[in-house]
């Protein structure tokens, strides 16, 4: 099997991957009918990272796949070095594929003297030499504007919604946003599930304390219904499991949690496995190792979606056509 795809215009596509989530990169390559460029990557004794590609990438359209689990800063640095390596090796174009965009939650200033870290990540990508950015379910859509170049914002909602539709009666479903900030996304869910009711959980958060929020009240029709509780990511699981508790107390029949990014920092697995949710559905934008898996967890592969988007970009097609014009 070749490591390059050549189209009718004689352009060449190559896939390269960092070390953070090689399984996802291999699945994407398999979907495209190719293989990853052989890459040497290792760390020196003092923590510095070394990377080198084992084949020429001169004149190619390179797609660099790197996810960002913990330790996130190590994988960002490795990715930046790989971008620089591709640029210096004369790749024709460099597309950064970051399924889980790092530092996405720090997309604005809550208080004075804070950084806008999500913007800094985009600046680093651009400075290193990236021409294009591809990511899945950004924490907020405005992050697309941080990168000075084309951004392909892929959506896992259709994949997650198809799974939910296959396991529950959509006539008795209510889509629930864990806070007011995700209501627009919840509206997209209701469209995909046939116009079911929408509810949201009112929560409060102390912006000086990370990873803590208190779910309080539910606004919407949930009594006796199966609630699909949606979010873009699950980190420690405190917010989402607190919302499950409130929904149960307010009369929900069952609760299914559906989220794109399984960050799963401790004690998320313990919380999710014991919160009373019927099922927890996530994608593999981040690796889910065996120690993070539990009985009612379902992991769906995002690889086919990313592969289709890469093919559309390479063929000068339309990525938004994959989502009915949404981005």
**Chain centre to alpha carbon of residue 212:** 21
Residue 252 backbone phi and psi in degrees, to 5: -65, 140
**Strand pairing of 173-177 and 226-234?**
parallel
Tokens found for residue 77:
């640095």
Nearby residues of 60 by Cβ (< 8 Å), 6 or more positions away: 4, 12, 13, 14, 91, 92
Q: 3-state DSSP helix/strand/coil percent for the chain, to nearest 5? A: 35, 25, 40
Tokens found for residue 134:
């591809």
DSSP string, 132-176: EEEEES-SSGGGGGGSSS-EEEE--HHHHHHHHHHHS-GGGEEEE
Phi-psi map region of 85: left, alpha, beta (phi>0 left; psi -120 to 50 alpha) = alpha
**What residue has token string 């359209």?**
61
Nearby residues of 249 by Cβ (< 8 Å), 6 or more positions away: none
102 closest CA partner among 66, 126, 127? 66
Tokens found for residue 140:
């907020």
Count of alpha carbons within 13 angstroms of residue 11, beta-carbon side:
14
Tokens found for residue 214:
């208190």
Residue pair 98/153 in contact by the 8 Å Cβ criterion: no
- Altogether, the residues listed in the chain come to a count of 327
Is 126 an annotated catalytic residue? Answer: no
Q: Which of 87, 203, 250, 253 is catalytic?
A: 203
Q: Which residues are catalytic?
A: 203
């Amino acid at each position: 099997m070749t490591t390059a795809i050549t189209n009718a215009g004689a352009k060449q596509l190559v896939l390269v991957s960092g070390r953070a989530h090689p399984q996802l990169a291999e699945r994407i390559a398999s979907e495209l009918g190719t293989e990853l460029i052989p890459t040497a990557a290792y760390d020196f004794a003092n923590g510095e990272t070394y990377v080198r590609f084992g084949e020429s990438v001169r004149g190619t359209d390179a797609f660099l796949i790197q996810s960002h689990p913990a330790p996130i800063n190590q994988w960002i640095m490795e990715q930046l070095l790989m971008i620089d390596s591709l640029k210096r090796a004369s790749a024709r174009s460099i597309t950064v594929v970051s399924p889980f965009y790092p530092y996405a939650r720090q997309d604005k200033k809550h208080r004075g003297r804070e950084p806008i870290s999500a913007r800094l990540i985009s600046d680093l990508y651009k400075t290193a030499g990236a021409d294009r950015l591809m990511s899945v379910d950004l924490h907020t859509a405005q992050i697309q504007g941080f990168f000075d170049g084309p951004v392909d914002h892929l959506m896992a909602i259709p994949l997650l919604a198809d799974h939910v539709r296959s396991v529950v009666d959509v006539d008795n479903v209510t889509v629930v946003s864990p806070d007011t900030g995700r209501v627009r996304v919840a509206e997209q869910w209701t469209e995909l599930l046939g116009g079911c009711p929408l509810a949201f959980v009112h929560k409060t958060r102390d912006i000086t304390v990370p990873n803590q929020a208190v779910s309080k009240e539910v606004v919407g029709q949930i009594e006796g219904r199966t609630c699909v509780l949606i979010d873009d990511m699950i980190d420690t699981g405190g917010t989402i499991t607190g919302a499950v508790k409130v929904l149960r107390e307010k009369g929900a029949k069952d609760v299914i949690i559906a989220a794109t990014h399984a960050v799963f920092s401790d004690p998320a697995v313990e919380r999710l496995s014991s919160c009373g949710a019927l099922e927890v559905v996530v994608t593999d934008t981040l690796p889910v190792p065996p120690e993070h898996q539990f009985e009612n967890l379902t992991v769906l592969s995002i690889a086919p979606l990313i592969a289709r988007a890469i093919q559309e970009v390479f063929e000068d097609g339309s990525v938004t056509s994959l989502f009915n014009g949404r981005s």
